[in-house]
Structure 1
């Protein structure tokens, strides 16, 4: 069962999913702290290069199936033009100002 983006509990995660799904790179980048970091399958990646390659140039899309940790962890079906669809998990660190300082993703 897919959770509608508007019903995701954490505002930062909700905005993250919305920006990914609407392919809004500017909104996506505004959600991140200036020093934000990320990891994919347990390895730190260059955030700007990764989001361009895995999300914005390949039409990335998240369909959230489950959320935990107060909404700061999600289980989702992620698809893009390169890899097709895969089951993924995402974990977010959200700062007091509501911006994301780190996210980690990987196959679930």
Structure 2
């Protein structure tokens, strides 16, 4: 349901994540992008490699708000299986500057 995602930076983030495309994923982030998982700050590079790319992460948006900058999604990867998650994005200059995720 990425048609609910109006923000192009967030849509690019989701598309790159689902395609497993590291280059496209990193291209949609600001150079100083940050993130947190369940309220804990994480190293973005380590977390995305472990939770997304090396574990075949996939995101299916369920319900979006704030032009797609906040949503609930079903997230699955080969490490943890499927879970319902929440995501919130800060976009700056057309790129994702920060995202926060965690179980919903």
TM-score (norm 1): 0.93
Deviation at 1:7, TM superposition (A): 4.8
- Aligned-residue RMSD, C-alpha: 0.9
In structure 1, list runs of 5 or more residues that go unmatched. Answer: none
Whole-Å Cα distance in 1 between the matches of residues 21 and 30 of structure 2? 17
Q: Which residue of 1 aligns with 2:72?
A: 75
Residue matched to 1:20: 17
Of 88, 99, 102, the match for 2:98:
102
Pick the aligned partner of 2:48 from 45, 48, 51: 51
TM-score with structure 2 length normalisation?
0.96
CA distance, structure 1, for counterparts of residue 100 and residue 74 of structure 2:
15
Q: Would you say how many aligned residue pairs link Structure 1 and Structure 2? A: 104
Q: C-alpha separation between the residues in 1 aligned to 2:5 and 2:65?
A: 10
